[in-house]
A and B are shown apart, each in its own frame.
Chain A
Amino acid sequence: MNIYLPIAEMSVNIFAILGLGAAAGMLSGMFGVGGGFLLTPLLIFLGVSPSVSVATSANQIIASSVSGFSSHWRRGNVDFKLGWFLLAGGVVGSTLGVALFRWLKQIGHVDLVISLSYVTFLGLIGGVMARESYHALRKNGHKPTSMLQWAFTDKLPYKIEFPRSKRTISMILPIGIGCFVGVMVSLMGIGGGFFLVPAMIYILGMPTVMVIGTSLFQIIFITANVTLLQAITTQTVDILLALLLLSGSVFGAQFGIRIGTKLPGEYLRAMLAALVLGIAIKLAIGLLAVPTEIYSVSQIDD
Chain B
Amino acid sequence: MIRLILFILLSSAIGFPTCGFTTPLVADLSQYRIEMDSGFNGTRIFLFGVRNDTGDVVVVIRGPEKDFILRKKEPFMGIWINQDRMKFFGVPDYYAVAVSKPLSDIEQDSLFRRLGIGQGTLISPPSNPDKISRFNEYSEAFFQHQQKRRLYTPSPIALTFMGETLFKTTIEFPDTIPPGNYTAEIYLIADGDVVGMQSTPIRVSKSGVDAFLYNYAHQSPVLYGITAIVLALSAGWFASRIFEKS
Q: Which residues of A contact B (CB under 8 A)?
A: 2-7, 9-11, 59-60, 62-68, 70-71, 108-109, 112, 116, 220, 224, 227-232, 235, 237, 239-240, 242-243, 246, 250, 253-254, 257, 287-291, 293-300
Which of B82, B145, B222 is A109 in contact with, Cβ under 8 Å? B82
Q: Report A-chain residues with C-beta under 8 Å of the C-beta of B242.
A: 250
* Contact (Cβ within 8 A) B229 A228: yes
Q: Within the assembled complex, what's the spacing in Å between the Cα atoms of A290 and B74?
A: 9
* CB pair A9 B229 closer than 8 Å: no
| Interface pick from B34-42, B45-53, B159-167, B192-200 | B34-42
4 closest Cβ pairs, A-B complex = A66-B236, A231-B225, A63-B236, A11-B175
Asked if B176 lies at the interface with its beta carbon under 8 angstroms from chain A, I say yes
B236 touches which one: A5, A10, A62, A296 (CB < 8 A)? Answer: A62
B229 touches A298 (CB 8 A): no
Across the interface, do A9 and B176 meet the contact criterion of CB distance under 8 Å? Answer: yes
- Taking CB atoms, residues of chain B closer than 8 Å to A11 are 40-42, 175
Which chain B residues lie closer than 8 Å to A243 at the CB level?
Answer: 231, 235
CB interface residues, B 203-232, toward A, < 8 Å: 206, 209-211, 213-214, 217-218, 221-222, 224-229, 231-232
- A62:B73 contact, CB within 8 angstroms: no
By beta carbon, the residue of chain B nearest A251 is B239
Nearest Cβ on chain B to A189's Cβ, whole angstroms: 14
Do A67 and B243 touch (CB < 8 A)?
Answer: yes
A–B pairs, 11, beta carbons within 8 Å: A6-B206, A64-B236, A227-B229, A231-B228, A235-B218, A240-B38, A242-B231, A250-B242, A253-B239, A298-B68, A299-B93
Interface size class of B (residues with CB under 8 A): 35 or more
CA distance A286 to B224 in the complex (A): 35
- In whole angstroms, how far apart are the Cα atoms of A295 and B239 in the complex? 43
B78 at interface by CB-CB < 8 Å = yes
Judge whether A108 and B85 touch: CB under 8 Å. yes
Q: How far is the CA of A88 from the CA of B218 in the complex (A)?
A: 29
CB-based nearest A residue for B80 = A291
Cα–Cα, bound, A112→B81 (Å): 7
- Dominant SS at the A interface? helix
Tell me the complex Cα distance, A44–B176, Å: 16
Closest B residue, CB atoms, query A228: B225
Check: B131 CB closer than 8 A to any chain A CB: no
B213 touches A239 (CB 8 A): yes
Q: Are B72 and A294 in contact (CB under 8 A)?
A: yes
Q: Is A299 a contact partner of B67 (Cβ separation < 8 A)?
A: yes
A6 touching B214, Cβ below 8 Å: yes
4 additional A-B pairs beyond A3-B39, A68-B240, A232-B221, beta carbons within 8 Å, are A4-B210, A11-B41, A63-B232, A63-B233
User: Is there contact, CB below 8 Å, between B232 and A294?
Assistant: no
B70 within 8 A of A: yes
A98 and B158 alpha carbons, distance in the complex (Å): 47
B224 touches A297 (CB 8 A): no
The answer to whether residues A237 and B70 also contact, given A3-B38, A10-B175, A67-B236 and a CB cut-off of 8 A, is no
Indicate whether A240 sits within 8 Å of B209 (C-beta atoms), given known contacts A3-B39, A4-B39, A67-B243: yes
A66 to B237 alpha-carbon distance, docked (Å): 6
Q: Which residues of B contact A112 (CB under 8 A)?
A: 79, 81-82
CA distance A275 to B70 in the complex (A): 34
Q: Is the CB of B142 closer than 8 A to any CB of chain A?
A: yes
**Which chain B residues (42-86) contact chain A, with CB distance < 8 Å?**
42, 66-73, 78-82, 85
Q: Does B138 contact A (CB under 8 A)?
A: yes
Is B130 an interface position by the 8 A CB rule? no
B239/A67 in contact, CB under 8 A: yes
Q: B residues within 8 A CB of A235?
A: 217-218, 221, 224
B68 touches A299 (CB 8 A): yes
Contact (Cβ within 8 A) B232 A59: yes
- Given the known interface contacts A242-B232, A297-B145, the answer about A71 and B37 at a Cβ–Cβ threshold of 8 Å is no
Query: Across the interface, which residues of A come within 8 angstroms of B93, CB to CB?
Result: 299
CA distance A288 to B211 in the complex (A): 41
Instruction: Say how far B243's CB is from chain A's closest CB, in angstroms.
Output: 7
A-side contacts of B68, CB under 8 Å:
297-300
Contacts of B240 in A (CB 8 A): 66-68, 70-71
In the assembled complex, the Cα of A231 lies from the Cα of B218 at a distance in Å of 9
